[in-house]
Homo-oligomer: A and B are copies of this chain.
Amino acid sequence: MVPLPVTITDVAREANVSRATVSRVISRKPITSEDVTGRVLAAIEKLGYQPNLVARSLRVQQSKIIGLIISDIQNPFYTGLVRAVEDTAYKNNFLVFLCNSDEDIEKEILYLKLMIAEKVAGVVITPTQERNNPSRMLLEAGVPVVAVDRSIKDLDVDSVVVDNYKVAYELVEHLIQDGHRQIAIVSGPSTITTSRERLEGYTQALSDHGLAVNPLFIRQGLPKEEFGYRAVRDMLELEQPPAALFLVNNLLTLGALRAIREKGLRIPDDIALVAFDDINWTSFVSPPLTVAVQPTYELGRRATELLINRINDPSIAIERQVISASVFIQKSCANHLLP
């Protein structure tokens, strides 16, 4: 019951060679004779030797581990992204540390420090703040970083993002073209890249079409279900409630749907709705929602590839990739006032 770990020394003794030679065989250095290679391999097999990666990491001063710091794995949006990171890491023989930061900058900092302490090879992160981001610590410690989904200002890192401004603009413009004038937005705080950019797309679309921006129709809060519910419920109580809603993410949309249902309103007859993010039950909601589906898997895949490329060659140029989201026009935004 005392599991004595078999080390490289045991293998060396068993194969009658030095530890260095065993090491060479393991790392497939093409400088070992067939005879010796065979003996070592046999000894490894016989003893059931597993190399100690911790020792190797210490010695070579870098590990085959990448850190993934995201806001919340339970958000369906991030699930696909996480899966992509894991898949891509797996293909390249990396393991991944999963860390949930919960939009909490202190928690994010704590995890960043742990990533440095664990000497990870690199980090993929959805930064909580756009400005003054603590990821700077990583760079100072020489750990490559890739920002995904959200950007980091004034920090020279690779990033993979969606064209939030443009897509938001399109969604809102679509509502306008359907004849809507009273369009409200429910968004996250402007410290988050995506929230800020989507809000900008919204206001720009309104003013480009000569529509006034009504402050009562702009709600910003924690981008979670609860806030989506409260914001929409409140706005529906207004003297002049909005006729159309723009929800900037899936959780807010969930909350909005709850408020709308509670109020007994129907989509799109009583209120129109467009939103960011696929919600995998979209096709079961009637009518289907008009949404901008984000390529979450692609985001994660590209971010991880970027990171691994940089790990392999830190000198390559910083890259910023922008992917487009696909807008699916569906019935949820029709305007019943029009013919």
Tell whether, in the assembled complex, residue A54 and residue B50 are in contact, meaning their CB atoms are under 8 Å apart. no
Chain B residue contacts of A96, Cβ below 8 A: 97-98
CB-contacts of A182-223 with B (<8 A): none
Instruction: Mark A123-156 against chain B: 1 for CB-CB distance below 8 A, else 0.
Output: 0000000000000000011100000000000000
Interface 9-residue window, one of A77-85, A236-244, A304-312? A77-85
Cα A293 to Cα B159 with chains together (Å): 39
Tell whether, in the assembled complex, residue B63 and residue A74 are in contact, meaning their CB atoms are under 8 Å apart. no
Distance in Å from the Cβ of A124 to the closest Cβ of chain B?
Answer: 12
Q: How many residues on the A side are at the interface (Cβ–Cβ under 8 A)?
A: 47
Chain B residue contacts of A54, Cβ below 8 A: 54, 57-58, 63, 118-119
Cα A118 to Cα B97 with chains together (Å): 12
Residue of B52, B86, B114, B117 near A73 (CB, 8 A) is: B86
Q: Does A36 contact B (CB under 8 A)?
A: no
Tell whether, in the assembled complex, residue B74 and residue A79 are in contact, meaning their CB atoms are under 8 Å apart. yes
Chain B residue contacts of A25, Cβ below 8 A: none
Residue of B65, B74, B90 near A80 (CB, 8 A) is: B74
Chain B residue contacts of A80, Cβ below 8 A: 74
Chain B residue contacts of A5, Cβ below 8 A: 141-142
Distance in Å from the Cβ of A203 to the closest Cβ of chain B?
Answer: 31
CB-contacts of A51-70 with B (<8 A): 51-55, 57-58, 63, 65, 68
Known: A141-B3, A285-B284. Is A53-B98 also a contact (CB below 8 A)? no
Q: Does A257 contact B (CB under 8 A)?
A: yes
Instruction: Mark A261-296 against chain B: 1 for CB-CB distance below 8 A, else 0.
Output: 000000000000000000111001110000000000
Known: A58-B54, A142-B3. Is A83-B100 also a contact (CB below 8 A)? yes
Q: Does A95 contact B (CB under 8 A)?
A: yes
Cα A63 to Cα B97 with chains together (Å): 13
Residue of B53, B68, B95, B285 near A119 (CB, 8 A) is: B53
| Interface positions of A (Cβ within 8 A of B) | 2-3, 5, 50-55, 57-58, 63, 65, 68, 72-74, 76, 79-80, 82-83, 86-87, 90, 95-100, 113-114, 116-119, 140-142, 257, 279-281, 284-286
- Besides A52-B119, A58-B58, A86-B100, 12 more A-B contacts (Cβ < 8 Å) are A2-B142, A50-B141, A53-B119, A54-B119, A65-B97, A65-B118, A72-B83, A87-B100, A257-B284, A279-B281, A280-B281, A284-B285
